[in-house]
Amino acid sequence: MVSRDVLIQAEGLTKKFDDFVAVDHIDFEVHRGECVGFLGPNGAGKTTTVRMMYCFLPLTSGELKVAGLSVNNHCREIKSLVGVAPQEDNLDPDFTVLDNLLVYARYFDIPKDEALRRAKAQLKFFQLEEKSGTPILTLSTGMKRRLIFARALLNEPQILLLDEPTTGLDPQARHLVWDEVRYLKKQQVTIILTTHYMEEAQALCDRILIVDKGKIIEEGSPAELVKKHVGEEVLEVDFDEKLAVILKEALPGAHIERLGDRMQIFTDQPHGVFEGFLKEHKLQNVTIRNANLEDVFLKLTGRGLREE
Amino acid sequence: MSEPKLRKSPAKFTIPKLTYRSWKVWRRNSDVFMKTITVNFLPSLLEPILYLLAFGFGLGGFIPNINGQPYINFIAPALIAIAMMNGSFFECTFGSFVRMYFQKTFDAIVATPVSVEEVVAGELLWGATRATINASLVLIVVGISGLFTSQPLITSPLVLFIPLISFFGGLMFSSIAMCFTAAAPNIDFFNYPSFLFLTPMFFLCGTFFPLTSLPVGAQAIATSVLPLTHIVNLTREAVTTRVEPILGLSPQQLVPLSFVWVVLVTIFFFILSINLMKKRLTS
Q: Where are the domains of chain A?
A: 6-226, 232-290
Q: How far is Cα of residue B280 from the mean position of the Cα atoms in its chain?
A: 23
**Which residues does A contribute to its contact with B (CB < 8 Å)?**
11-12, 14, 17, 25, 54-63, 72, 75-76, 79-80, 82, 84, 86, 88-95, 99, 103-104, 106-109, 155
Report residue A303's pLDDT band, with 50, 70 and 90 as the boundaries: low
* Residue range B85-109: mean pLDDT, rounded: 97
pLDDT at A277: 84
Report residue B11's pLDDT band, with 50, 70 and 90 as the boundaries: low
User: pTM for the whole thing?
Assistant: 0.91
Check CB contact under 8 Å for B109 and A57: no
Task: Answer whether B265 touches A (CB < 8 Å).
Answer: no
A154, pLDDT greater than 60: yes
Amino acid type, A233: E
Contact B186, B98 (CB under 8 A): no
Report residue A304's pLDDT band, with 50, 70 and 90 as the boundaries: low
Contact A194, A37 (CB under 8 A): yes
- For residue range B45-87, list pLDDT tens digits in order: 888 899 999 999 999 989 988 988 999 999 999 999 999 999 9
- Write out chain A residues lying below 8 Å of B1, CB-based: 11-12
Q: Which CATH number fits domain A6-226: 3.40.50.300, 3.90.1300.10, 3.40.309.10, 3.90.1150.10?
A: 3.40.50.300
C-alpha gyration radius of chain B: 20
Q: Where are the alpha helices (H) located in chain A, listed in sequence order?
A: 46-53, 75-81, 97-107, 112-125, 141-152, 171-186, 198-204, 222-230, 241-250, 273-280, 293-301
Check CB contact under 8 Å for A84 and B4: no
Interface A–B counts its CB contacts (< 8 A) at: 81
Q: What whole-number distance in Å separates Cα of residue B89 and Cα of residue B179? A: 11
Report residue B236's pLDDT band, with 50, 70 and 90 as the boundaries: very high
* Residue range B238-247: mean pLDDT, rounded: 93
Q: What are phi and psi of B152, to 5 degrees?
A: -60, 150
A1, pLDDT greater than 80: no
As a CATH number, domain A232-290 is 3.30.70
Domains of chain B by residue range: 22-281
Q: Which of B273, B270, B246 is nearest to B258 (CA)?
A: B246
- Percentage of residues in chain B with pLDDT exceeding 90? 85
